[in-house]
């Protein structure tokens, strides 16, 4: 069999059996044609905004996003000054503002998007959160006074070697915010990071969370997005050390005219790593739009990997749209298992019938089904007071729009 290379390929090889080169790029592509990146880890990275191409909304990473609403955060000038926040903490957890030159800044990742680079270029000081305790430590950062000016921010979270802790980021009220959150989980550490978005109805929030997980370390990441006009939280996690364990969970509830988006990337770099991704969402109201893109890459050195990702969406009314795109790349044949799944549908009529047959009203039956569907993710938080608060918030969402709920199975 002849070997075809860019140097030896001729026209006859291109049209064999009537096949033609793709118009989006290739060896014979015309000058300036786009050649797509084939491996998730090969995407361009830079913290300098000018090195990223202009965003036109047709790019793969932006085409499902209302880009016109985000222009001030993608291209505009940002206020990068330190902002007010409330903090509650236990022993072994601390938060402080540090300079851009601090050695902890830049350890976990680099910007893959222009908005992320804009935030990186703009912040004056980073909020550094450090977990050091051998017993489980906890710190909560509450932000509710960011205002409506375009702002760029940077947070660095470090779980020191063999430490145990939980970091909760609570976001409420108004905001026009683009930010990067770097997370370093050192060898043997156990860290949970919970990010809750209960913004005001007109808030816009773009966030990229970069995490690197060391040898025999455990990382739990939970994203809950309920409020805001446009909220896009993109976790990017590298299981770098041998035996690293990562669990990424998410919950979102989109109402009429609301856009909630999450693009998840888990990269198995080390051997014998374990990864789980589980996101669940509900949608109701005309114009409610959710986007979930899940990328899992099992690298060539990640022998013994055990990985699975899934996304489930529950449609509660007409006029909604849920985009769900799972992707899986495997670069080694020596794995324990890998898979992905995605499903979007309406209520299960059998569940409703079962509950109504026992004297429960239709509205209450629907409420129980939705809460049961989403509670699995809420319980991942591990803080009872916050879990109860979020269940009440979801209940309020359902009660406000109960007239929009529809039945029928897809």
Contact present, 364 and 177 (Cβ < 8 Å): no
CA distances from 10 to 4, 20, 28, 153, 309 (A): 9, 12, 10, 52, 42
Residues 22 and 167 in one domain: no
pLDDT of residue 26: 45
| Selected residue with higher pLDDT from 395 and 212 | 212
Alpha helices (H) along 78-149 = 114-122
Task: Give me the residue label for tokens 């729009």.
Answer: 401
Query: How far is it, in rounded angstroms, from Cα 6 to Cα 25?
Result: 13
| Selected residue with higher pLDDT from 195 and 6 | 195
pLDDT of residue 9: 39
Task: Read off the pLDDT of each residue in 121-139 and give the average, rounded to a whole number.
Answer: 95
Query: What DSSP string runs through 299-360?
Result: -TT-TTEEEEEEEEEEE-STT-EEEEEEEEEE--S-EEEEEEEEEEE---HHHHHHHHTTT-
**388 belongs to a structural domain:** no
**373 belongs to a structural domain:** no
Q: How confident is the model at residue 11 (pLDDT cuts 50, 70, 90)?
A: very low
**382 belongs to a structural domain:** no
Residues 152 and 77 in one domain: yes
Query: What DSSP string runs through 23-84?
Result: TT--TTPPTT------SGGGS---S-GGGSPPP-S-STTTTTS-GGGGHHHHTS--B-S---
pLDDT of residue 27: 44
* pTM listed for this prediction: 0.88
Residues 2 and 131 in one domain: no
Q: Which of 346, 361, 377 is the endpoint of a domain?
A: 346
Q: How confident is the model at residue 19 (pLDDT cuts 50, 70, 90)?
A: very low
Residues 101 and 5 in one domain: no
Does pLDDT of 114 surpass 80? yes
Residues 86 and 192 in one domain: yes
Does pLDDT of 16 surpass 90? no
**374 belongs to a structural domain:** no
Residues 301 and 323 in one domain: yes
Q: How confident is the model at residue 6 (pLDDT cuts 50, 70, 90)?
A: very low
**167 belongs to a structural domain:** yes
Query: How far is it, in rounded angstroms, from Cα 307 to Cα 216?
Result: 16
**353 belongs to a structural domain:** no
Q: Which of 314, 330, 346 is the endpoint of a domain?
A: 346
Residues 186 and 307 in one domain: yes
pLDDT digits over 300-344, tens only?
999 999 999 999 999 988 999 999 999 999 999 999 999 999 999
Query: How far is it, in rounded angstroms, from Cα 345 to Cα 337?
Result: 27
Any residues with CB less than 8 A from the CB of 271 and at least 6 apart, and which? 242, 243, 301, 302, 303, 304, 305
pLDDT of residue 36: 56
User: Longest C-alpha distance within the chain, in Å?
Assistant: 75
Provide the residue count of the chain: 410
Residues 158 and 26 in one domain: no
Task: Read off the pLDDT of each residue in 11-39 and give the average, rounded to a whole number.
Answer: 46
Residues 298 and 193 in one domain: yes
Q: Which of 297, 328, 346 is the endpoint of a domain?
A: 346
| Selected residue with higher pLDDT from 210 and 135 | 210
The Cβ of residue 59 has, within 10 Å, a number of other Cβ atoms equal to 15
Cβ neighbourhood burial of 172 (10 Å; 0-12, 13-18, 19+): middle
Q: How many domains does the chain have?
A: 2
Query: How far is it, in rounded angstroms, from Cα 81 to Cα 125?
Result: 7
CA distances from 269 to 189, 217, 275, 307, 376 (A): 18, 13, 11, 12, 28
Strands 93-99 and 321-330: unpaired
- As a whole number, the mean pLDDT across the chain is 89
Q: How far is CA 214 from the centre of its chain?
A: 20
Half-sphere exposure of 159 (CA within 13 A, CB side): 32
Of 274, 233, 281, the closest CA to residue 254 belongs to 281
Residues 223 and 153 in one domain: yes
Query: How far is it, in rounded angstroms, from Cα 173 to Cα 186?
Result: 33
Does pLDDT of 288 surpass 90? yes
pLDDT digits over 177-224, tens only?
999 999 999 999 999 999 999 999 999 999 999 999 999 999 999 999
Does pLDDT of 175 surpass 70? yes
pLDDT of residue 367: 82
**116 belongs to a structural domain:** yes
Q: How confident is the model at residue 134 (pLDDT cuts 50, 70, 90)?
A: confident
| Element spanning 205, H or E | strand 204-213
- Structural domain including 143 reads 45-346
Q: How confident is the model at residue 280 (pLDDT cuts 50, 70, 90)?
A: very high
Does pLDDT of 24 surpass 60? no
Q: How confident is the model at residue 233 (pLDDT cuts 50, 70, 90)?
A: very high
| Element spanning 371, H or E | helix 362-378
Q: How confident is the model at residue 35 (pLDDT cuts 50, 70, 90)?
A: low
Residues 241 and 320 in one domain: yes
Task: Read off the pLDDT of each residue in 283-287 and give the average, rounded to a whole number.
Answer: 94
**What angle, 0 to 180 degrees and rounded to 10, lies between the N-to-C axes of helices 362-378 and 349-356?**
120
**304 belongs to a structural domain:** yes
Task: Read off the pLDDT of each residue in 66-85 and give the average, rounded to a whole number.
Answer: 97
Residues 11 and 114 in one domain: no
């Amino acid at each position: 069999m002849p070997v075809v290379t860019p140097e030896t390929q001729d026209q006859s090889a291109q049209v064999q059996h009537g096949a033609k080169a793709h118009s989006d790029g290739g060896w014979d592509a015309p000058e300036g044609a786009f050649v797509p990146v084939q491996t998730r880890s090969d995407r361009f990275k830079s913290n300098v905004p000018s090195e990223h191409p202009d965003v036109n909304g047709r790019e793969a990473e932006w085409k499902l996003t209302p880009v016109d609403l985000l222009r001030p955060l993608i291209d505009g000038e940002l206020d990068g000054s330190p902002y007010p926040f409330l903090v509650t903490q236990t022993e072994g957890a601390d938060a402080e503002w540090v300079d851009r030159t601090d050695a902890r800044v830049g350890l976990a990742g680099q910007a893959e998007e222009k908005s992320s680079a804009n935030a990186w270029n703009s912040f004056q000081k980073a909020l550094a959160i450090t977990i050091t305790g051998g017993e489980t430590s906890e710190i909560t950062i509450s932000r509710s006074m960011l205002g409506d000016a375009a702002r760029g921010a940077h947070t660095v979270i470090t779980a020191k070697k063999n430490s145990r802790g939980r970091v909760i980021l609570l976001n409420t009220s108004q905001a026009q915010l683009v930010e990067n959150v770097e997370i370093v989980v050192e060898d043997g550490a156990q860290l949970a990071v919970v990010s809750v978005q209960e913004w005001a109805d007109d808030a816009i929030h773009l966030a990229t969370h970069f995490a690197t997980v060391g040898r025999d370390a455990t990382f739990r990441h939970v994203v809950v997005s309920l409020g805001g006009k446009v909220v896009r939280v993109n976790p990017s996690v590298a299981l770098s050390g041998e035996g690293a364990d990562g669990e990424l969970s998410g919950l979102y509830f989109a109402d009429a005219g609301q856009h909630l988006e999450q693009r998840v990337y888990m990269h198995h770099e080390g051997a014998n790593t374990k990864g789980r991704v589980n996101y669940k969402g509900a949608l109701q109201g005309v114009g409610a739009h959710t986007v979930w893109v899940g990328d899992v890459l099992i690298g060539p050195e990640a022998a013994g990997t055990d990985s699975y990702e899934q996304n489930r969406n529950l449609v509660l009314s007409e006029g909604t749209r849920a985009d769900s795109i799972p992707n899986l790349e495997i670069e080694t044949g020596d794995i324990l298992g890998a898979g992905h799944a995605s499903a979007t549908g309406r209520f299960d009529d059998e569940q409703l019938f079962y509950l109504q047959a026992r004297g429960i009203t239709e509205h209450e039956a629907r409420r129980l089904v939705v809460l049961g569907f989403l509670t699995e993710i809420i319980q991942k938080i591990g803080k009872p007071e916050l879990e109860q608060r979020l269940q009440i918030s979801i209940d309020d969402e359902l009660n406000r729009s109960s007239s929009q709920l529809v039945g029928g199975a897809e």
